Structure formats: C-alpha cells, structure tokens
Amino acid sequence: MQPSAQKPLAFLEARILGVLVEKERTTPDIYPLTLNSLASGCNQKSARDPVINVKDSEVQAALDELRSRVLVLETYGASGRVLRYAQNFGRVYGLPPASVALLAILTLRGPQTASELRANAERLYQFDDTSSVEAYLDELASRASDPLVTRLPRQSGAREHRWAHLLCGAASLPIGKGLPADGPASAPSDLEVRVARLESEVAELRAAVLELARKG
C-alpha cells in the first residue's frame, strides 16, 4: 500500500533532505551530519542550483520541522557528544534507493533531463541507462496519492524534456526558467561530468577535513 500524501516541504527543507541523502553516500565517514556540516552542504557552491547562503539558525528551524514529520532523525553518533542528523526520507515516502537518489539530485540541482540526472546521480546510485532513469521518473510521476516529479514542457529546440520535483508543491515549479541564450539544452559532456564530480569531491573533502579537525 502506498503511503498517504505528504504535506509540501519548504525549499530549505527539501535542500536539507537532498544534502543528507548525498552526504550519506559520498562522505559516509562524517555521516550523520552535524548542524555546521549540514549548513555547509546547503550553501555549497558546486553541484547546487540555485546556490544559497543560509544561516545555522535557519537550518535548525527547518530541521525542527523535518524532525516533527520524522523525515530527519537525531543521533549523537559514536562520540555521544555532538548532535547529528540523519535522513529518513525513503522510509517516510515509501521509496526505493533509486528514486531517493533522483529526488535528492533534483532538490540540489533543479530541473534536469533524464540524461543529466543519470550523470549527476552517479555517486548516489548506478543506473544501467537513461531508460531506467526514465522508468523511475515515470513511476514517481504516476503516484496516485502524491506525484513527486513532473515532466516539464519541452522547450523549443530542446532534445529532451526536463524533470522537476514536486516535494515543495506544484506552485514552486520553475516554469519560467528558460534555456541558455546560446542554444538548446543537451546532455552534459564527459568533461563537464568529470569537472562537476571533481568540484563536488573537493567540497566534500573540505567538509570532511573540517569535521575531523573538530573531532580532534
């Protein structure tokens, strides 16, 4: 049986869930995350669209709301001294890991094509091909109680439709966000994928170093 429909999330709440899903897979040594690490992940400049700058107090307020809905769980980790946060997103929404990965990337990077999602989600989940990504997206879009993604109208000259998440409700869709002036959207090149991956890894390493320094 499918879980009942969930109340729409605020933008920051969705971003926090995306960060927690991402860091659980990419930096397991420092997961669950402290408030400071979580704020850094939300404000990260690489692999984020839009880039934001939120305060710890804003992140804490959003965490309190997510905790009230059991979407985030508190833990003190192995040290037992510093409060940390873990995501419970997939369990609450009744989603498999592949769907959780796709939604996380959509909350972190905004609307994307299936090809872009496959490339950007590579470190969170290994999809066999673009068709498998589309199959999971179609499943998320066809949920009877609460569709979680929608396929945006294909813009003039574009080869693929973009997909957007509905975790924050239909009103939050970036319908007016157009294509770059220099041409249609296309799947990222191998170089673009490698650069984005390296930027993300550098940001994650910095966060890990800061976290280890605090522990020491």
Domain ranges of the chain: 11-92+199-215, 96-168
pLDDT at 157: 83
Long-range own/partner contacts, residues 199-207 (CB < 8 A, 24 or more apart): 199/46, 199/47, 200/26, 200/46, 200/47, 200/123, 201/26, 202/46, 203/44, 203/45, 203/46, 203/47, 204/23, 204/26, 204/27, 207/23, 207/27, 207/30, 207/37, 207/40, 207/41
Residue 119, strand partner residues: none
Residue type, 38: L
The CATH-assigned architecture of domain 96-168 is: Orthogonal Bundle (1.10)
- Same CATH fold, 96-168 and 11-92+199-215? yes
pLDDT at 81: 83
pLDDT at 176: 45
Quote the tokens at residue 191.
Answer: 């170089």
Fold of 11-92+199-215: Arc Repressor Mutant, subunit A (1.10.10)
Residues 59 and 47: their CA atoms lie apart, in Å, by 19
Residue 87, strand partner residues: 72
pLDDT at 181: 32
* Tens-binned pLDDT, residue by residue, of the chain (216 aa): 455 568 999 999 999 999 999 999 999 999 999 999 999 999 999 999 999 999 999 999 999 999 999 999 999 877 778 999 999 999 999 999 999 999 999 999 999 999 999 999 999 999 999 999 999 999 999 998 899 999 999 878 888 999 999 999 975 555 444 333 333 333 444 554 455 555 555 556 665 655 665 555
